[in-house]
Homo-oligomer: A and B are copies of this chain.
Amino acid sequence: MMDWIDITLLTALQRNARTSLANLARALNMSGPSVSERLKRLEEQRVIEAYVPVLNIKSLGYTLEAIVRMQPLPGQLKALEKQIIDTPNITECDKVTGEDCFIARLVLRDITELDEILDGFSTIAMTATSIVKSSPVKRRTPPLQSAGRSTT
């Protein structure tokens, strides 16, 4: 499925996903068209799902982040899931095993916005909120190894 050239390619893209094919080709010691082919294949296979800019949320006016664990009140599971999806301040949410059920990340303009949003959930869920003080590990990619063909 994926060999070391693909892994090198993905690694280079992680440094800067807007790098030109020509640049990538130089980094890999390959021709432009070859790199283009491989990239297209990785996109079509959905190994690469998208290319996104990483935005600084402070610049967007969000001064605060929080992690909220949510447990639906009886019969409110679907309603809770819908409201989570419909809350644009929630930038990430997982449904998990155990008591908590949902773990969501929120971005907030200020502390009053946190209060407003949690109020909106109070009729359908129990919540436990943690304010983010720092992020020792920012979103990063784990070691790239193929699920398929060996890389040796």
Instruction: Please give the number of chain A residues whose Cβ is less than 8 angstroms from any Cβ of chain B in the complex.
Output: 65
Rounded to whole angstroms, the CA-CA distance of A105 and B71 in the bound complex is 19
- The reply to whether A67 and B94 form a contact with Cβ atoms under 8 Å apart is yes
Within 8 Å CB of A18, what residues of B?
17-18, 51
- Closest chain B residue to A52, Cβ basis: B17
Chain A residues 37-54 with CB under 8 Å of chain B are 45-54
A145: which of B60, B91, B134, B145 is its contact (CB, 8 Å)?
A: B60
Chain A residues 50-64 with CB under 8 Å of chain B are 50-62
Rounded to whole angstroms, the CA-CA distance of A59 and B49 in the bound complex is 10
Rounded to whole angstroms, the CA-CA distance of A147 and B57 in the bound complex is 9
Rounded to whole angstroms, the CA-CA distance of A143 and B108 in the bound complex is 11
- Closest chain B residue to A97, Cβ basis: B131
Within 8 Å CB of A91, what residues of B?
137, 139-142
Residues of A within 8 A of B (CB): 1-2, 10, 13-14, 16-18, 45-62, 65, 67, 81, 84-85, 88-98, 100, 102-104, 107, 130-147
